[in-house]
């Protein structure tokens, strides 16, 4: 049966994260999430218009686009 050998700490590279790099990652992630949320909303509205025969009716699917505050 194979055994698990943890890596030697001296063999691994030193990885560090700064608060600036984490902030940049979170900002990019939130920005991408907002883009995808807007695209999904537009897709749902377009599908609704197609299903209803595009008779100028528009269903109000207003989703918030604000980024949630992580501190609250």
Q: What is the pLDDT of residues 30-69, one digit of tens each?
A: 999 999 999 999 999 999 888 887 655 555 666 666 666 6
**Res 49: pLDDT:** 86
Confidence label for 10 from pLDDT (cuts 50, 70 and 90): low
Residues, the chain, total? 72
Question: How far is Cα 44 from Cα 60, in angstroms, rounded to an integer?
Answer: 10
Tokens (6 digits) for 57: 């009716």
Question: How far is Cα 20 from Cα 40, in angstroms, rounded to an integer?
Answer: 30
* SS3 (DSSP) at 20: helix
Question: How far is Cα 12 from Cα 18, in angstroms, rounded to an integer?
Answer: 19
């Amino acid at each position: 049966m194979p055994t698990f050998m943890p890596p030697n700490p001296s063999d691994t590279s030193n990885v560090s994260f700064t608060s600036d790099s984490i902030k940049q990652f979170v900002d990019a992630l939130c920005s991408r999430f907002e883009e995808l949320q807007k695209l999904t909303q537009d897709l749902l509205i377009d599908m609704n218009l197609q299903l209803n025969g595009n008779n100028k009716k528009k269903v109000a699917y207003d989703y918030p686009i604000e980024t949630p505050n992580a501190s609250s």
